[in-house]
Chain A
């Protein structure tokens, strides 16, 4: 067996995905260039205090341009290729392997890259359009700041996905971290937003350290940082599989867990809801959180370096999916429910990666990007209309309110996809993952599949809990505490309030929420249009599965097969490799589950799950809303079960646990070190030295009495003493 853990057939396929030197495609650099230009322009507009929507227009044009460029690149794409743009880091201290560090600015374009960039730039553009209306009350410096950060976000994401080496990936990785920090902390007047931004950034730093070590170990093992060379070296087997090399996948996955909010680094993501809603959509749907999935898919061959690496990913993913779903069941904040659903769905993606279907994971990223962006933007539109109200107990029946029908029905589309109701896009992608998991022969992995199915039932329940509460039922609402229909405190703002109400007044004859008269503020063209496009996209994302080729491959699987993630695409017969000990390609081999065809079985199970989940949700949250409270009271009343609702509502006390394990000890240590610093370093050494000249000064101070004669006596006396000393020495030597 080959040292890499891959079979010869898998290595052969990997070889096909290693790019050749290629025709000039350097114009693809504009995919990164346009957001960069937009970011600079937005910064400029911010400094110039432009008070109109110009920053939004600049950003939308740039992101749209990037999307069109990606489409053009897809058109002219023939095979995996590395596009060299210009030289960046070229260190060399010898000619042998491992004696140089080369990282150029270049693009690695293959199926995976294109697939990712298509939805990243496409959704980025749509979200920017949505935000142009959503953020309009902040027109001015803040508006420019927001769109500048969005442009930086997309630039970094493009760098992460398209970069031709791990250094560029790391650059983009940190870039999205910084941009998300800027965006989550957008309302910097609000302490919770600042805390959330810091939490996201610091938690990500933990993962980033893992990624950095992983990159170092990769460089140490393969002597290069660019994907083409790494995979070439791996194919040729010209490396040493030492313990450092075996650790590569674990460090890389730590980075992925941080960025994609998996156990143990998932608590930052729900808090990140403090940012404006378009940011939640941007971070939680299309870009940042999918970076971890991308990293593992891109470096998939490296995950065969240790036989347990992918299993670890699978277990973490499956567990995260379940835990996050249970928390999502008892949250009352609409955006938080969707945030936990994101963590849960990301868990599914990692489960897919872990059980060996990069195709399923990537497909789920793709469908999830559409329906989750849709759900976030829809809940953002509800917030926009109800003065920042997010509590699902305080809004009801908005589908009967004129102007909100688009929101209600597009949200239904998103909920159906998230609940993985059969024949929706979410169903097909989740199906791919669970199918492979359930039919895996690895010890314990089928359990993860069943856990995944149970999680899917929970998902159906909590998703429709939101929809039945907010969109269905009798019309009733309590507006939020935000005057201008936005999720932030204008009290902290400097003079935007007047402008905001002016812009509202122009479109809405009755300004919102004044003196007890609250009128919901329905969205206009930009928001409704984006919601409709996204709903359409969420439906059409199922299309690849309907247009399945005869050999079972789809557009998505052919795209993924055309990259370094090829070994996780099941429908390609050559990929079948039980010898690897992984579940690669078992979909082609088994087709047996519960005594019938696996696809049929899963379809039936999914139907049952959807009926149970949505049905129970309909009973508790539409038909008999009091029953939910009664059930909760009953659970709380019994000492045996009272822990359950409490634990769920408090998110399994994970934040408290981390506080106990990490934050408070670190704080105590910081306090101790501060004392040591103040007493020993500052008090003893620094100030002690400073006190010596002061004491000397005190000693001689009385000589300075302000009379010139006194000083002269001192001088003359000193001179006399020196002279006396010279004479004394002279005499002692025996005179002249």
Chain B
């Protein structure tokens, strides 16, 4: 099945019974609210990432930023009456799941090496000025 075919399938599923029967028409206010929540999520994640030294917390913050992006996708998808945004969210979730497995594994390994979760423990990995 081609990607266009997949897309059409999703469109068909999402519009069972006709678009006007159960989905409200796009409303700019809905988009604004969604994007506001998305920006807040992103900001919280960014600030958290910048201020925390605990690697697990930093990882969770990146997850927050990822979800902010996913939410923005959904919002725009709703705005344009297009399911592509939701499709992207599925992808983002998949990637996030894989990334979580990898990142937590790394964190465990790093913890075993230094007996601490602080990211400062690894700051000597930088290259010094010669």
Q: List chain A positions with a Cβ less than 8 A from chain B.
A: 698, 701-702, 704-709, 712-713, 716
* Residues in A neighbouring B120, C-beta threshold 8 A: 707
The reply to whether B126 and A704 contact each other, CB–CB distance below 8 Å, is yes
User: Judging by beta carbons under 8 Å apart, are B123 and A707 in contact?
Assistant: yes
Tell whether B96 is near chain A: CB-to-CB under 8 Å: no
Contact residue among A701, A706, A709 (Cβ-Cβ distance under 8 Å from B50): A709
Within 8 A of A (CB), among B52-67: 53, 58
Chain B interface bracket (under 10, 10 to 19, 20 to 34, 35 or more) = 10 to 19
Tell whether B84 is near chain A: CB-to-CB under 8 Å.
no
Contacts of B122 in A (CB 8 A): 706
CA gap between A707 and B50 in the complex, in Å: 10
A705 with B49: CB separation less than 8 A: no
B129 within 8 A of A: yes
CB neighbours (8 Å) of A707 from chain B are: 119-120, 123
- Which partner residue on chain B sits nearest A713 by CB separation? B50
Q: Which of these, A705, A712, A713, A716, contacts B126 with CB under 8 Å?
A: A705
Number of A-B pairs, beta carbon distance below 8 Å: 29
Give the docked Cα–Cα distance between A707 and B124 (Å).
Answer: 9
Chain B residues, Cβ within 8 Å of A705: 123, 126
Q: Contact: B126 with A709, CB < 8 Å? A: no
Q: Mostly helix, strand, loop or mixed at chain A's interface?
A: helix
In this assembly, does B108 line the interface, its C-beta being within 8 Å of a C-beta of chain A?
no
Would you call B27 an interface residue if the criterion is a C-beta within 8 Å of the partner chain's C-beta atoms? no
Could you say which residues of chain B place their CB within 8 Å of the CB of A704? 126-127
Report A-chain residues with C-beta under 8 Å of the C-beta of B127: 701, 704
Complex: chain A residue closest to B120, CB-CB: A707
A706 touches B129 (CB 8 A): no
A-B contact pairs, 12 of them (CB 8 A): A701-B127, A701-B129, A705-B123, A706-B123, A706-B124, A706-B125, A707-B123, A708-B58, A709-B119, A713-B50, A716-B46, A716-B50
Closest 6 CB pairs of A and B: A706-B126, A706-B123, A701-B129, A708-B119, A704-B126, A709-B50
CA distance A701 to B130 in the complex (A): 10
Q: Find chain B residues with CB under 8 A from A716 CB.
A: 46, 50
Question: Inside 8 A of B125's CB, which chain A residues have their CB?
Answer: 706
Q: Give the chain A neighbours of B46 by CB distance below 8 A.
A: 712, 716
Residues of A within 8 A of B58 (CB): 708
- How many angstroms from the CA of A628 to the CA of B22 in the assembled complex? 130
Q: Nearest residue in B to A704 (C-beta to C-beta)?
A: B126
With both beta carbons as reference points, the residue of chain B lying nearest to A705 in the complex is identified as B126
Residues of the A chain whose Cβ atoms lie less than 8 Å from the Cβ of B123 = 705-707
- Cβ–Cβ contact B129 & A702, under 8 A: yes
Chain B residues near A706 (CB-CB < 8 A): 122-126
Contact of B129 among A698, A708, A712, A713 (CB under 8 A): A698
Q: Mark B17-31, 1 if CB is under 8 A from A, else 0.
A: 000000000000000
Find the A residue at minimum CB distance from B125.
A706
Cα distance A702–B53 when bound, in Å? 20
Q: How far is the CB of B101 from chain A (nearest CB, A)?
A: 20
Q: Which residue of A lies closest to B61 (CB)?
A: A712
**Which of A701, A704, A708, A712 lies at the interface centre, i.e. has the most chain B CB atoms within 10 A of its CB?**
A708
